[in-house]
Amino acid sequence: MRLNETLSYILGFALGDGNLSKRGNLVRLYDQNPDFVNQVLKPRFIECFGETPGVSFDRSNNSYVLHKTSPRIWKELKGFGVPPGRKARIITIPELIFTGSRRPIIAFLNGVFDAEASINKFKEKDRHPTGYLTFQVKMFSPRFIDGLGLLLCKVSPRFNPRIYHYAYGSFLRLNGKDQLNLITKYLKLDHPRFNPLAH
């Protein structure tokens, strides 16, 4: 299977909030928004792999899970860099993405950010008393966060990702309206929580 934009998106989402079982060839992608899972994630999965996944509610983590048992899809995602089992601390940017062309890089970033990013408002009493918006991704793999920052700069040198590594996780932040405007200019985030970026 060749890397294309749809696969790049699914790959990014799977590394962000997905899972390959260690046994049984089960592929799972998670999100708390059922409309997003059914209207965005599921059609792209079908487009990518030509198979229809199921969708169910997982009470253990209060999320909807898109799931498919398929040795072929499991092996393809593993081959493209999704580790089976617990992966949070060991994931890295797949080499095919990092060395690839701009459009798959953008699709990959869209997938990761739809899975894991959020928009927050930060206030600093002295410097920013009224607060400022920041686009944030938190992961447990420092190498993955570092790689996301490098990918953003490949998309445009105008991106200025701030990277922070702590014992409890690693963060990538894009601070302020100018950086958020670059997101809407260069990326296409489909999760409903990013609708405010369009306004």
pLDDT, tens only, 121-169: 876 666 666 778 899 999 999 999 999 999 999 999 999 999 999 999 9
Mean per-residue pLDDT, 73-87: 95
Q: Which CATH superfamily is domain 5-89 in?
A: Homing endonucleases (3.10.28.10)
Tell me the C-alpha to C-alpha distance, in Å, between residue 74 and each of 103, 145, 171. Answer: 24, 24, 29
- CA distance linking residue 183 with residue 165, whole number of Å: 23
Mean per-residue pLDDT, 166-194: 95
CB 79 within 8 A of CB 94: no
- CA distance linking residue 17 with residue 168, whole number of Å: 18
Q: Where are the domains of the chain?
A: 5-89, 114-198
CB 93 within 8 A of CB 147: yes
Mean pLDDT (the chain) is 93
* DSSP, res 2: -
How sure is the predictor about 189, in pLDDT bands with cuts at 50, 70 and 90?
very high
Mean per-residue pLDDT, 66-78: 97
Burial of 69 (0-12, 13-18, 19+ CB in 10 A): middle
What's this model's pTM, rounded to 2 decimal places?
A: 0.94
CATH of domain 114-198: 3.10.28.10
